[in-house]
Amino acid sequence: MKTINKVILGLTIVGSLTSLAAAGDAALFKKCAGCHGMNAEKKALGKSQVIQGWKASKIETALNGYKDGSYGGPMKALMKGQVATLNEAQIKSLAKYIESKK
Ligand code: HEC
């Protein structure tokens, strides 16, 4: 009986984490949308490339690069501030979310 309860508890936790991650994409992107557009269709502040249509891997490289300083143009300091507090999983889910915008 105890084992079954643990399994059920485990499944419940995994289940809620999964839905949190799914909700996270859109919630995380909200702060990006102000500059990049709701569908990532804008040149942020008239300066960035349009990231709509980018592959998740390319977005991930850019975001990780802003974080460690290895990527970016004249306004990379601004983007560093945007991604500095994101962890790897959040960057991955953001990249997937943006890729899904067409
Ligand atoms: C205050 C406006 C602003 C916000 C908010 C913002 N960005 Fe940006 N973003 C920019 C600018 C400006 C650039 C171009 C920076 C540079 O010179 O490299 C850029 C560049 C990028 C690039 C690379 C495009 C390129 O031109 O190489 C990606 C990907 C990106 N942003 C994703 C995001 C994500 C994801 C978020 C939310 C976590 C976000 N941005 C939030 C303004 C913003």
pTM: 0.84
3-state secondary structure the chain: CHHHHHHHHHHHHHHHHHHHHHHHHHHHHHHHHHHHCCCCCCCHHHCCCCCCCCCHHHHHHHHHHHHHCCCCCCCHHHHHHHHCCCCHHHHHHHHHHHHCCC
**Any idea which architecture 2-99 has in CATH?**
Orthogonal Bundle (1.10)
Q: Which amino acid is at 100?
A: S
Q: Which among 67, 79, 101 is the best mutation to test ligand 1's pocket, defined by most ligand atoms within 8 Å of the CB?
A: 79
User: What does each of the 102 residues of the chain score in pLDDT, given as a tens digit?
Assistant: 677 666 666 656 555 555 455 556 789 999 999 999 999 999 999 999 999 999 999 999 999 999 999 999 999 999 999 999 999 999 999 999 999 998
For the chain, domain boundaries: 2-99
Q: How far is the CA of 84 from the centre of ligand 1 (A)?
A: 12
How many residues are recorded in the chain?
102
Which residue's CA lies nearest to atom 29 of ligand 1? Answer: 59
